[in-house]
Structure 1
């Protein structure tokens, strides 16, 4: 009987606390799932990459579950003060050891929400340029035309001067025309070739005009806009068609020359 009475006393003393803690845990699981789903719906409207979105959703669920667990432990009579102090000490040590990683994470969140650049845009940053291939919570990956990739830690991005070209770039081509050639004819030919190229955008309007009166030639500047992916192909195509059409139209492209005069004795 003594044992039975003791068990009954324990059930009366702690039973309601255990039931309360279990109820808190159950409600906490439901709340964590609801918070995660709500946050996921919000983040889906932010044009965010799926891995980053899932990381933020899991982080939010984890914080809710941690709060619920601490509440349940307190309901059981566990002193959570020392537990929180221990978590703080461990967190401080981990933070110091992973300072660079945490800096990358904070910078990554800043990039994701402020959107200084997006995937597919062409940027120049800290002496490196390329098309943005991926933005993760820790780094930004740039793709080059030679199929190489540059991975930049996100902490290097924040606070630096960023040149964002967007999803279009302006070609800056030049071609020399002989001083004896018909300049107006040359400009007309170049404008026609630029507008006929399917890679060249109609808006903004391509710029074609005389840039410099050089020593051996009249330099014509050609500045059309193209998609980032068409930058190098458009440049090669325009140079090829200009050379071919100039030859067909008998427009000379001069090369640097020097005239040397030998003066005899007077």
Structure 2
């Protein structure tokens, strides 16, 4: 532009008008950015606080939803700022949508685990420390993230299970209820006194202080086996005492049988030989 043109009143008016419009757009964009940052930050903090105050929801879920809301609001803020400068946003939104779809298809397995992780953290079918069976593997829950669940097996192996498999399969939580029933089967010889054996079993197991009196210990004849009479026993105890009661009952009943001449028979087989 020539210096002479700057002296033209119309040119000066146009330049001043353009400068004012550009300055106005910049100021408006800055205001939108400040308001957007404030709203996004407040929403993220509010979500985290709400989740933290809920006993059913984990803080990890609050951080995830808070960040999701924050970046969603900021995306709308960027689009609004582009609109103040006259930049077409329709094509930008379409491109963003196509890119999101492509990323979602490429990461569908990961997103499936993420969605399952959200459901696990939200509904809490198991918690840290619970003994569970997930995807055919049993262990104590050591960590729950948005993508995986970490178990420690009985021999202290670390098992990492994708949340998609945990949520999509049967979940067995052995620690969910405060009490559990211990089911045991004892075998006696056909020549032994069944009533005496059943009374010995009931008295021996009931003597364990960890076994609940209500419901009382239950005993009944379950089957007539090939070489034994099988007696089933059911006793209730606290969940944490399950294996202790189980192992001690097996030992104590065997010793009580020995003291009262009740025998646990070995399997018998009869071989018949034909001549010729």
For normalisation by structure 1, the TM-score amounts to: 0.79
2:103 — aligned with what? 94
Tell me the distance in 2 between the aligned counterparts of 1:102 and 1:140: 15
Cα offset for 1:204? Answer: 5.4
Question: What does residue range 67-146 of structure 1 map to in structure 2 within 5 Å?
Answer: 67-146=76-155
Q: Would you say 1:217 and 2:228 are equivalent positions?
A: yes
| Structure-2 separation of matches of 1:123 and 1:27 | 47
Describe the shift of the 1:231–1:154 C-alpha distance in structure 2 as closer, same or farther (beyond 3 A). Answer: same
Q: What is the DSSP-based 3-state SS (H/G/I as helix, E as strand, rest coil) of the residue aligned with 2:67?
A: helix
Corresponding position of 2:183: 172
CA distances 1:79-130 after superposition (whole Å, capped 9, x unpaired): 2222212212322221222121111112222333344444444444543344
For the pair 1:240 / 2:251, whether they are aligned, the reply is yes
| Pairing partner for 1:31 from 26, 39, 47 | 39
- Higher alpha-carbon deviation: 242-251 or 31-40: 242-251
Cα 1:25–1:227 shift into 2, 3 Å: farther
Q: Supply the distance in 2 between the matched residues of 1:152 and 1:69 (Cα, whole angstroms).
A: 38
The separation in 1 between residues aligned to 2:216 and 2:81, in whole angstroms, is 67
Tell me the TM-score normalised to structure 2 length. Answer: 0.77
DSSP 3-state at the match of 2:37: helix
SS in 2 for 1:197: coil
Provide structure 1 residue ranges, at least 5 long, that are not aligned to the other structure: none
Rounded to whole Å, the distance in 2 between the matches of 1:205 and 1:131 is 30
* Whole-Å separation in 2 of the counterparts to 1:10 and 1:22: 18
- Give the structure 1 partner of residue 56 of structure 2: 47
Alignment partners' CA distance in 2, 1:127 and 1:20: 58
> Do the aligned partners of 2:28 and 2:84 also contact (CA within 8 Å) in 1?
yes
Query: 8 Å contact 1:122–1:228 — kept in the other structure?
Result: no
Q: Say whether the 8 Å CA contact 2:56–2:123 is kept in structure 1.
A: no
Cα 1:33–1:205 shift into 2, 3 Å: farther
Partner of 1:249: 260
